[in-house]
A and B are shown apart, each in its own frame.
Chain A
Amino acid sequence: MTVRKYLVLLAVVIFGSCGDVCLGRGMRDFGAVTASNWHLLLHAVADPWVILGICFLIGFFCTYITALSWADLTYVLPATALSYVLMALLAKIFLHENVTLEHWLGIALITAGVGFVATGPSLTVETSSTAPGKLPDAANRSDA
């Protein structure tokens, strides 16, 4: 694992949690959306908070698939679970939501889980760019 790869995992965590918090903040202004007032969703997508949330979530998706291109799924999912922790902290700070003892216990469990997986190898299967004696797949294509 290089510094760049750790930064990509950090970006997954930050983009994911910021995206969800922004969507939560934006949807607060609209109340519950039901079948009878579904058109509220159309107004919601024009809300600045929702737009910012969608931008963050696009960033999340791009960094998430980047991480999947060089690490196992069973490494990326637990390693980026810190986004749940960051989301709880951001919700407490910016949305003034209540963080209970149960929540803190959940945060401790997730942090322990991340610690377990982060100390192990990120990749256990052979990929197109890690196969011994084989050039990265990119080198065999003509995208340039």
Chain B
Amino acid sequence: MNAAAIWSGIGAIVVTATAGDVLQARAMKEVGDLGEIRQSYGVLAVVRRVVSSGRFMLGLLFMALAFFSLLITLSWEDVSVVGPASASLTFIANAFAARIFLKERVDHRRWLAALFVAGGVALLSR
């Protein structure tokens, strides 16, 4: 498989994984603190509240797409390339996406954390 196809696969993993994370983060903010809900209404209420969120289910769908994109890309290239590249790029993409779509205040400390963790994951996955 040529390099363009492999990097397209890695790009698909990063985009779908980031979309899944952002959608689930947004959904959970809308649902509210699960600890408080569990204390007030019990575990069943937590489950009902979470699975009735359309955004949460859409996030799950994107996570499934990320998983299958990973499997397909792994059939084209070694895990030593796909693993570190997709995991570290997903950390950076999440920081950008959280700033844009979730309006999180990503200050210099969080950027540094994302870059350090991305670099560390790349080294650890080699």
Contact = CB atoms under 8 A, between A and B. Distances in A.
A125 to B, nearest CB: 6
A137 B36 CA distance: 10
Interface in A76-132: 76-78, 81, 84-85, 88, 102-103, 105-114, 116-117, 119-120, 124-125, 127-129
A124 B113 contact: no
Contacts, number: 163
Given A129-B32, A144-B41, A74 B114 contact: yes
Contacts of B121: 81, 84, 106, 110
A110 B120 CA distance: 5
A125 B103 contact: yes
Interface string B11-53: 0000000000110110011111111110011000100111000
A116 B122 CA distance: 18
Nearest to B31: A69
Contacts of B98: 72-74
B4 interface: no
Nearest to B95: A74
A138 interface: yes
A129 B36 contact: yes
Chain B interface main SS type? helix
Given A88-B124, A128-B29, A73 B113 contact: no
A133 to B, nearest CB: 16
B120 A4 contact: no
A143 interface: yes
Contacts of A68: 24-25, 28-29
A141 interface: yes
A65 interface: yes
Contact of A73 (B30, B102, B112): B102
Given A74-B94, A114-B117, 18 more contacts: A5-B35, A65-B34, A69-B28, A74-B98, A74-B106, A105-B123, A106-B126, A109-B117, A111-B120, A113-B113, A113-B117, A116-B109, A124-B105, A125-B29, A127-B33, A128-B30, A129-B36, A143-B37
27 contacts: A5-B35, A68-B24, A69-B32, A69-B34, A73-B22, A73-B102, A74-B99, A77-B114, A77-B117, A78-B91, A78-B110, A78-B113, A81-B117, A103-B126, A106-B124, A108-B120, A109-B117, A112-B120, A113-B116, A113-B117, A116-B113, A117-B113, A127-B30, A127-B32, A129-B33, A138-B37, A144-B41
